[in-house]
A and B are shown apart, each in its own frame.
Chain A
Amino acid sequence: MNGLKLHAQTLRKWEGSLFIAPWIFGFFAFVAFPLGFSLYMSFHRVKVTVSGIETVPNGIDYYREILFADGGLLYNDLIPFLREAAVMIPVIIIFSMLIAILLNQRFWGRTFFRVVFFLPVIFSSGQIVLEFMKQGEGSLAFVESLRINAYVAEYVPKAWVEPINHVISSFVLVLWYSGVQILIFLAGRQTISSSVYEAARIDGADPWNTFWKITLPGLIPFIFLNLIFTVVDLFTFPSNPIISKVSTANYGLSSALAWIYFVIVLAFIGLALLMYSRVDKAFGGKRR
């Protein structure tokens, strides 16, 4: 009997292994191997010839060059971009949460609005958005007429003026980047059962309280998920300044740059994780 059970378990393992085998093969072929090779290249001078690839060890020279010698490669683009991302990420999260909560209500024309609000999912991933931005579709007339820029220049530390103003002037872009985030929040909102809201209503909770005590705590995992998604999305978007510098012109240098960049992305995600664990602890008691 015991032997039979053991047999069934190994069988299950075999089935599972067969199912996952293609993915694992793909992981080695298209992720792990290129990744290792890129790390290798970042320490080597790479020459691509007709017959193959020649590599000459170069030590950490490329890293030293990017980090300390030539500021133009990394810092000039990276620091404004990071500042912008730091402004953009919370705006995207808050905006998409607001829209998702609104879209979750029952109201006339809901289907129409949902179709429209999912449009960015389709457009925001490509050349089209870049074209729109070049046409000046990125700015909002009414935001500009409020002259927020002047206030920002007055009250905000100098280093942050430029990125904040850029986010304001390309506010539409921020909205366009929030398509998937709205979807995630909408799906997340569905996971909070309506009986909780009913119970709160019977207890006499007003909408304001309901939002802070039920909706928001319930959405915390999704805020976190969106945080990671937004970071990943912003940092891997092809129009991102660092990414356009990773080119076939110099394999070694580009690989080193990509690795430095990846470490920065990881740091951002790590920060998101840390924040999540803090917030989750704070809200954890209330949720249960």
Chain B
Amino acid sequence: MERIAHAPESRRGWTREAAAGRADSVKYVLLGKEADQGLLFRLFLYLILIDTAFIYLKPILYMVITMLKDSSNMLDPSVVWVPRSIFIGHLEEAFRLLKFKTGFLYSLTISLSVAVLQIVSCAAAGYAFARLEFPFKKFWFTALVFTFILPPQLTILPSILMFKQIGWANTYLPMIVPALFGHGLKGALFVIIFRQFFQTLPKELEEAARIDGANAFRFFFKVMLPLSKSAMIVVFLFSFVWNWNDFYLPSMYMSGSKEVPLSISLAKLAASLSADEAQGGISIFAEPVKMAASFLIIAPVLVVYAIAQRWFVEGIERTGLVE
């Protein structure tokens, strides 16, 4: 771009300008005319990105490597990153201690049903906030923002009592039923995401549908929902992952239950391992077993992320997430 700008001047032989132009182009190679060009900037960019990526990946690498070390590798000080042999005993141990098979089913039931329910219910609420008319809309929008900033701890105690009264203590229902109504874990955020997304869609779509005589429900399910795939993927992934990892709500609502999701069994496992440590000295196996347990828990989420990440990254950009 800047070559074209400078070319006519140098051709006319205005030497001073040409020299300045040359100095400029050296500068531009190093610094770049725009922030994303230029060698120095590139180097800086990769330096920061690779460092930060390493910081993000290191715990995961550490986790995977620690859990694969057997006792000889653990005691060998020359083994830091690459174990000499691969040992899956810790994984098996963690699998057993976590009661992984059943815990996995519980976690999956909660996260999947909440995620699916939140997609539909939060989309409907978001659509209403973005496009439809209803009485006291401004008030209800304030209420929505209010639910977003409300710490869950403020409502948790009465909710426990309430769910106990209707006999839902120690079941999944306290997590799942609110999702049916567009609430549940971070439900307000998902309503806001859908609202932002629906606001970006052209208004003409609706007018055309209205002239064709479609009512809001038909239109919502036939046109708007199919169009909102990218927002749905973003909400699904957030909702699924956050519910999968969530420890707080299940620990409050299901404290007396035997059917606990994995996040709780992990906490219990960590607690019992450290209790053992306190009693009988430090076991070198506590660490790898904990890491193996952590790995077992994030592995399913990693798989979901690996499948969804392409649409997720695209979706984030396309939803415009925020206004």
Contacts and interface: CB of A to CB of B under 8 A. Distances in A.
A236 B52 contact: no
B73 interface: no
A19 B216 contact: yes
A168 interface: no
A137 B58 contact: yes
Interface stretch (A59-67, A127-135, A277-285): A127-135
Contact of A30 (B143, B183, B287): B183
Interface string A52-86: 11000000000000000000000000000000000
B316 interface: yes
B227 interface: no
A30 B322 CA distance: 26
B36 A118 contact: no
B283 to A, nearest CB: 15
Contact of B55 (A48, A115, A172, A248): A172
Interface SS of chain A: helix, strand, loop or mixed?
A: helix
A175 B133 CA distance: 41
Interface in A177-207: 183-184, 186-188, 190-191, 197, 201, 206-207
Contacts of A17: 134-135
Interface in B176-233: 178, 180-183, 187, 191, 215-217, 220
A2 interface: no
A174 to B, nearest CB: 10
Given A38-B158, A140-B55, A186 B134 contact: no
Contact of A22 (B137, B181, B298): B181
Contact of B158 (A34, A126, A259): A34
Contact of B157 (A38, A186, A225, A232): A38
Contact of B321 (A20, A26, A27, A187): A187
Given A126-B246, A201-B33, A236 B55 contact: no
A45 to B, nearest CB: 14
Contacts of B52: 99, 117, 175
A108 to B, nearest CB: 9
B23 interface: no
A184 B316 CA distance: 8
Contacts of A102: 45, 48-49
Contacts, number: 262
A117 B321 contact: no
B270 interface: yes
Contact of B125 (A22, A37, A172, A191): A22
B108 to A, nearest CB: 16
Interface in B134-177: 134-135, 137, 140, 143, 147-162, 165
A286 interface: no
Given A31-B183, A105-B36, A187 B319 contact: yes
Nearest to B266: A127
Contact of B320 (A103, A135, A175, A190): A190
Contacts of B63: 132
Interface in A12-52: 12-13, 15-20, 22-27, 29-31, 33-35, 37-38, 41, 48, 52
A190 B317 contact: yes
Sorted nearest first, the 5 A-B pairs with minimum C-beta distance are A26-B181, A126-B245, A16-B132, A16-B134, A34-B155
Interface of B: 1, 31-36, 41-42, 45-46, 48-49, 52-53, 55-60, 62-63, 121, 124-125, 127-129, 132-135, 137, 140, 143, 147-162, 165, 178, 180-183, 187, 191, 215-217, 220, 238, 241-242, 244-248, 252, 263, 266-267, 270, 287, 290, 294, 297-298, 301-302, 305, 309, 312-313, 316-317, 319-323
Interface of A: 9, 12-13, 15-20, 22-27, 29-31, 33-35, 37-38, 41, 48, 52-53, 98-99, 101-103, 105-107, 111, 113-123, 125-128, 131-132, 135, 137, 140, 172, 175-176, 183-184, 186-188, 190-191, 197, 201, 206-207, 210-211, 221-222, 225, 228, 232, 235-236, 238, 242-243, 246, 248, 251, 254-255, 258-259, 261-262, 265-266, 269
Given A127-B267, A172-B55, 7 more contacts: A12-B133, A15-B132, A16-B132, A111-B313, A127-B266, A140-B55, A176-B56
